[in-house]
Structure 1
Amino acid sequence: MKLNLSSQIVLNKVPEAFYRPATAVERSEITRFEKVPTDIYPTIEEGSVSIVNQLEAEIKHKQQEGKYYVMAVGSGSSLTPIFQELIKRHKAGKLSFKNVIIFNAYEYFPLNPENLNRSINQLKDRFLDHIDIDSQNIYTPDGTINQNDVQEYCHLYEQRIKSFGGLDVILLGIGRMGNIATNEPGSSQTTTSRLILIDETSREEMKMSFGSQESVPPCSITMGVSTILSARRIYVTAWGEEKADIIKKTVEGKVTDAVPASFLQTHNNAHVVIDLSAASKLTRIEHPWLVASCKWTDKLVRSALVWLCQITKKPILKLTNKDYNENGLSELLALYGSAYNANIKIFNDLQHTITGWPGGKPNADDTYRPERANPFPKKVIVFSPHPDDDVISMGGTLRRLVQQGHDVHVAYETSGNIAVGDEEVVRFMHFINGFNQLFSNGEDEVIKSKYKEIKHFLQNKKEGDIDSLDVRTIKGLIRRGEARTASTFNQIPLDHVHFLDLPFYESGKIEKYPMGEKDVEIVRKLISTIKPNQIYVAGDLADPHGTHRKCTDAVLAALDLEKEAKADWLKECKVWMYRGAWAEWEIENIEMCVPMSPEELRAKRISILKHQSQMESAPFLGNDERLFWQRSEDRNRATAKLYDDLGLACYEAMEAFVEYKI
């Protein structure tokens, strides 16, 4: 069973020459905008192996010399695949850590002595407890010391590093704001180990380790920027498109304390190691025509022309030969013969993505339409990772499918229970208790007992505590009720609303269980029963919580099993990927775009607002202060404006989709 098919989704196939150049001359040419040596790999695994190969060689070299190898490491999740590869080689008998000294790059502060959510504990769980390192060779800041002693403690920590001859290597991830270790924006290049306040964005990133953002300690003791730069070799890693923007600033931007990672540009042996997704905003990947000659695919031509429109502030059909020549796109003139020919080709391609008939228009020529006219009506399944993703991501399209006569089912893949605040439970418990008193004279003993029990639990609940099963069940029930209300508003029959409650989600924590066969079989049972002609799945592969990716992997794995079983219904099925509140598809990848009128956008907003628990009181709104309906509308309006700016039809808002080829 293939459980990670989403990792094989490649929307823009980057030629190998742009991330794995054959010669030093080619590398010099394509990296002309980069100020830190940056190695790009197709997968996280390949990137991790490249780092571990170097570490293994250096550790063994020091062993031969009878010397210690001094490492500083962070405990961020981006380092986990590297730790796993190091552990794998150790267990295979290829690598010993007897001569390795480890310094933890940072520790949270203040910490109670009994607090288990320490950086060093995470490091032990993921790495140190699985290798043969001497416990006496592990050094970490102490988050339990008195605040008055921190300054002297940090000085001694620096002295301890120097006593071993300094750091041979430091291995770090990078935060979304460019923080390395916990050196937040504003950190000076001259800083050494010190106490620092953790900013809100970093706290939001760290909450997975603590259960909630509020439980993350306010400060940390961190190695300073100067301490990091003193290492003889530096590796900074980042995986996934979520880190693409900050990687561009780090590698191609100016050196500034607003992006502490940019100080790596001043080091003579710093290396940024990333996958293609994290590299997606680097010039050689996003705009390869600016660094070398390109093999022009339809998508790359579309991307180039959209970029040209944006920098010239012209619609597509007004671009001239001069615009192409002055902006590095003369190759396209040679390819198409003139700007006019290229303009018409891309204009038509984009125009053909727009449709008001997401399920296909019956009895119409579908040659240039993204969806087939037949069969009609279609059986449709919309898979929604959380109980509101369907309306947030494609609420306008969902209503159109129903109104145009298709047989629409919605499958809510997870309960979404951890995204419900405790006050919502209290509110509903008061209602149930009041109902009992009004209509049963308060004589229902089950309600009385549960009311008392749950009220006591919530009153005594501490930050970071996992909800009881009863509380999680009630939270899931609240979300089910909201989903049913929204579905009814969208005219979807309740017998077409399916709650799958995939088991991987039910950990009670932000960090979920691995997605497995049980999850896939639940999804497969549904799709093999309905035999849909259309499936919609989440394409938010950079979802901060990871739930969207796992849910999509479950659907893709189920489809793959049906394909292996040679299911006939698959021949008539198309799979469309949508994106949610986090991001929109790049325009070069959009294959279907469904417009909305002001009235349709208003109806979409109403359906989102039916999910009352996900408004201001929702625990996991992310680092974006806008509510979900506001994010969704802004995103849909931005897509419509982009089409308008390119000279296409002007709509109030648009929802975009990319086809997944089964």
Structure 2
Amino acid sequence: MHYNLTSHIVLNKVSENLYHPKTAVERSELTRFEKIHTDIFPKSEDAVDNIADAIEREIKDKAQENKPCILALGTGQSLTPIYEELVRRHQYQGLSFRNVIVFNVYDYFPQKQGSVITSLQQLRDRLLDHIDINPEHIFSPDGSVAQENIQKQCALYEQQIQKFGGLDIALLGIGRCGNIAANEPGSVITSTSRLILIDSVSREEMTMSFGGQEPVPPCSITMGISTILSARHIFLTAWGDDKADIIQKTVEGPITEDIPASFLQAHNDTHVVIDLAAAAKLTRIVHPWLVSSCKWDDKLTCAAVVWLCEKTQKPILKLTNKDYNSNGLSELLALYGSAYNCNIRIFNHLQHTITGWPGGKPNDDDTYRPERATPFPKRVVIFSPHPDDDVISMGGTLHRLVEQGHDVHIAYETSGDIAVNDEEVTRFMHFLNGFNQLFMNAGDQVIVNMYHDIKQFLANKREGDIDTQDVRTIKGLIRRGEARTACTYNGVHSDHVHFLDLPFYESGRVEKYPMTERDVNIVRRLLQDIKPHQIFVAGDLADPHGTHRKCTDAVLAAIDLEQQAGAEWLRDCRVWMYRGAWAEWDVKDIEMCVPMSPEQLRHKRNAILKHASQADFAPFLGNDERLFWQRAEDRNRATAKKYDDLGLACYEAMEAFVEYKRD
């Protein structure tokens, strides 16, 4: 069973020569904008093997020389699959870590005595407790020391590194603000191990471990930039398109204190090892015509023309031969004969992505429509990771599908309970207790006792405490009620609303359990029951806590199993990916764009606001402080403006989709 099919999603068919050049000359040409050696792999699994191979070689080479292998290790999420692979090699291939000495690159400060949430503990859970490393060979900053002793501890930490001969390999992830270890923006290249204030963006990323921003300690004790740069080999990893922007700035941008990872440009043996999604903004991937001759297909031509429009500030049909020649696109003139011919082709291509019939227009020629006319009506399943992602990301399209007579099912994949504020539980319990007293005679003692227990728990709840099962159930019920209300508002029948409550989500913390066969089978049974003609899934994989990715992985794994089993219904089913909560599709990638009038956009907003617990406050907004209804409107209007700027039809707002192609 494949649990990570989202990592295989590549929006553009990238020619292998762009990410895997065959000769040094080809690499030199392709990477002329890159200031750090960057290895791109089509799948994250291939990249993981590449790094694990390098670490294994270093460990064995040092063992043969009877020397220790000194590793500086981070604890970011991107490093977890590498640690899993190293553990696998230890357990099944005999890779020994007896000669390995590990330096944890940072830990939180201050730490309460006995705190279980530490960077070192995360490193133990993911790697150290599963290999044969000598416990005396593990070193880490201690976040429990008194503040006046930190400077002395940091000096000792640096001395220990030097005592063992310096770092052989530093293995690092990269944060969304370009931080490496806990070196936040503003760090200088000469910095050594020290105490540092955690940046607000990093704090948001750390909520995965702490269950919210409040419990995250204010500071970290981190290995400094100069200490990291002293390592003989450095590996920096990132997976997924949510890291594409910061990777581009790190690899191709200037060295700047604003992006600490950019200091790696000053190192003579740093390897950035990433998948194609994380490489999506590098010049050789996104604008290959600037570094190489291209094999032009419609998708690449569209990307080039949209880029040219943005560069020249012109709509498509006003581009001239001179515009193409002056901006490195003369190959397109040779291919199409003139700017006019190329312009018309791309204009028509983008025009054909626009449709007011997301389920297909019945009894009509669908040659140039993104969705087929038959069958009609279609059975449609919209998978929503949280109980409001459906209306946030495709509320306008959802309403159109219902209005146009399709058989629409909504599948809410998780309870969304951790995103409900404790005040909502108190308000709900006040109502329930009052209702009990007014309408249940002397009152139901079970409810009275539960009301007392929950009230007491919430009064004594501390930062980082996991909610009781009763509290989590009530929070889930609150979100269920809101989802049902929104579905009723959109005209979705109550028996077409499905709450899957996938088990991976029910950890009670922001950090979830691994997605397993149980999750996939729940999704698969629903698909087998409905046998849909259309499936909509979250392609918005930049959700900082990973729920969207896991939910979509569960759907794609279920589809994959059905395909292997030869399911007949799949032959007449298309899968569409939506975005909206965390990002939006680039125009060049959009394959279906559904316009909305001002009234339809207002209807979408009202559906989002039916989720009252999320309307005025949502605990996991990420780096974007706008509420989700504001993001949705801004992004939908921005998509419409991009189409307008390209000289296409002008709408109030638009929702965009990309089709998921099964291999």
* TM-score after normalising by structure 2: 0.97
- Aligned residue for 1:213, secondary structure, equals coil
- CA drift of 1:264 comes to 0.8
For residues 434-445 of structure 1, the aligned pairs below 5 Å read 434-445=434-445
What is the CA-CA distance between 1:559 and the residue it aligns to? 2.6
* SS, match of residue 587 in structure 2: coil
CA distance change for structure 1 residues 62 and 595 in 2, over 3 Å: closer, same or farther? same
Moved more, 20-29 or 156-165: 156-165
What displacement does 1:378 show? Answer: 1.9
2:307 paired residue number:
307
Larger CA deviation: 503-512 vs 425-434: 503-512
Q: Deviations over 1:435-485 (max 9, x none)?
A: 122223552111101100111111111111111111111011000110111
Map 1:529-544 onto structure 2 (within 5 A). Answer: 529-544=529-544
User: Alignment partner of 1:273: what SS?
Assistant: strand
Which residue identity does 1:265 align to in structure 2?
Q
Cα separation, partners in 2 of 1:585 and 1:217, compared to 1, 3 Å:
same
> What is residue 177 of structure 2 aligned with on the other side?
177
- Aligned 8 A contact 2:536 2:577 in 1: yes
Q: Distance between the aligned counterparts of 2:180 and 2:563, measured in 1? A: 45
The aligned counterpart of 1:581 is: 581
Given that 1:358 and 1:400 are in contact with CA atoms closer than 8 Å, whether structure 2 keeps it comes out as yes
Structure 1 residue aligned with 2:166 = 166
Determine whether 1:223 maps to 2:223.
yes
Aligned to 1:619: 619
Distance in 2 between residues matched to 1:382 and 1:97, nearest whole Å? 47
What stretches of structure 1 move > 6 A for 4+ residues in a row?
none
DSSP-derived class of the 2:214 partner: helix
Deviation at residue 118 of structure 1 after TM alignment: 1.0
* CA positional deviation for 1:15: 1.0
Measured in 1, the distance between the counterparts of 2:442 and 2:614 equals 31
Q: Which moved more, 1:503-512 or 1:468-477?
A: 503-512
Q: Please name the residue that 1:520 is paired with.
A: 520
Change (3 A) 1:195 1:602: same
Equivalent AA in structure 1 for residue 9 of structure 2: I
Cα distance between partner residues in 2 of 1:609 and 1:93: 54
1:463 pairs with 2:463: yes
2:290 aligns to what? 290
Q: 1:253 to 1:578 in 2, by over 3 A?
A: same
Asked if structure 2 preserves the Cα contact closer than 8 Å seen for 1:591 and 1:657, the reply is yes
Q: 2:188 aligns to what? A: 188
- The residue aligned with 1:17 is 17
Other-structure match for 2:430: 430
Gaps of 5+ in 2: none
The 5 Å alignment of 1:449-598 reads 449-598=449-598
- Superposed CA deviations along residues 396-429 of structure 1, whole A, max 9, x for unmatched, are 0111111112222211111111111111101100
Query: 1:202: which partner in 2?
Result: 202
Which amino acid letter does the alignment assign opposite residue 514 of structure 1? P
SS at match of 2:133: coil
8 Å Cα contact 2:580-2:631 kept in structure 1:
no
Q: Matched residue of 1:471: which SS?
A: helix
Contact conserved, 2:4 with 2:553, CA < 8 A, in 1?
yes
Q: What is residue 238 of structure 2 aligned with on the other side?
A: 238
Aligned residue number for residue 380 of structure 2: 380
Q: Is residue 84 from structure 1 mapped to residue 80 from structure 2 by the alignment?
A: no
Change (3 A) 1:60 1:570: closer
Contact 2:598–2:652 (Cα < 8 Å) also in 1? yes
> SS of the residue aligned with 2:328?
coil
Contact kept, 8 Å, 1:193 with 1:227, in 2: the verdict is yes
C-alpha distance in 2 between matches for 1:463 and 1:59 = 41
Residue of structure 2 equivalent to 1:639:
639
Distance 2:150 2:561 in 1: 57
What is the alpha-carbon distance in structure 1 between the residues aligned to residue 57 and residue 326 of structure 2? Answer: 48
Partner of 1:58: 58
Distance 1:189 1:565 in 2: 56
Count of aligned positions:
662
* Distance across 1 between alignment mates of 2:56 and 2:640: 51
Q: Judging changes above 3 Å, is the alpha-carbon distance between structure 1 residues 153 and 6 closer, same or farther for their aligned structure 2 residues?
A: closer
Q: 8 Å contact 1:538–1:580 — kept in the other structure?
A: no
CA contact (8 A) 1:442 1:448 kept: no
223-232 vs 419-428, which moves further: 223-232
- 2:655 is matched with 655
Distance 1:565 1:59, change over 3 A: closer
Query: CA contact under 8 A between 2:596 and 2:651: conserved in structure 1?
Result: yes
Inter-CA distance 63–280: structure 2 relative to 1 (3 Å threshold) = same
- Find the residue that maps to 1:402 and give its secondary structure: helix
Q: Residues 377 and 90 of structure 1: is their aligned pair in 2 closer, same or farther, counting only changes over 3 Å?
A: closer
**1: CA distance between counterparts of 2:520 and 2:56?**
38
Of stretches 376-385 and 516-525 in structure 1, the one that deviates more from structure 2 is: 516-525
Mapped contact 1:381–1:532 kept (Cα < 8 A): yes
Following superposition, the deviation at residue 7 of structure 1 comes to: 2.7
Q: Which amino acid aligns with 1:276?
A: L
Over 3 Å counting, the alpha-carbon distance change for 1:517 and 1:169 in structure 2 is closer
Equivalent-residue separation in structure 2 for 1:515 and 1:396 (angstroms): 30
**CA distance in 2: counterparts of 1:20 and 1:661, whole angstroms:** 23
Give the aligned residue type for 2:300: L
Structure 1 unaligned spans of 5+: none
1:152 is matched with 152
For 1:485, what is the secondary structure of its paired residue?
A: helix
Mapped contact 2:385–2:538 kept (Cα < 8 A): yes
C-alpha distance in structure 2 between counterparts of 1:56 and 1:565, whole Å: 39
The answer to whether the 8 Å contact 2:234/2:269 transfers is yes
Contact 1:594 1:656 in 2 (8 A): yes
* Distance verdict in 2 for CA 1:6–1:167, change over 3 Å: closer
The CA deviation at 1:224 is 1.0
How far apart are the structure 2 equivalents of 1:83 and 1:570?
37
Deviation of 1:269 after TM superposition, in Å, equals 1.6
Structure 2 SS opposite 1:215: coil
Helix, strand or coil for the counterpart of 2:616? coil
**Percent identity for Structure 1 against Structure 2:** 72
Q: CA deviation at 1:523?
A: 2.1
Alpha-carbon distance change, 160 to 472 in structure 1, aligned in 2, over 3 angstroms: same
**TM-score normalised to structure 1 length:** 0.98
Per-residue deviation, 1:72: 1.1
Which residue in 2 is equivalent to 1:340?
340
CA distance in 2 between partners of 1:524 and 1:229 (Å): 48
Distance 1:149 1:442 in 2: 61
- 1:105, distance to aligned residue in structure 2 (A): 0.8
- Backbone CA RMSD of aligned residues: 1.5
Residue aligning to 1:253 = 253
* CA pair 22-605 structure 1, distance change in 2 beyond 3 A: same
Q: 1:54 to 1:571 in 2, by over 3 A?
A: closer
The residue aligned with 1:41 is 41
2 CA distance for matches of 1:100 and 1:351? 59
* 3-state SS of paired residue (1:214): coil
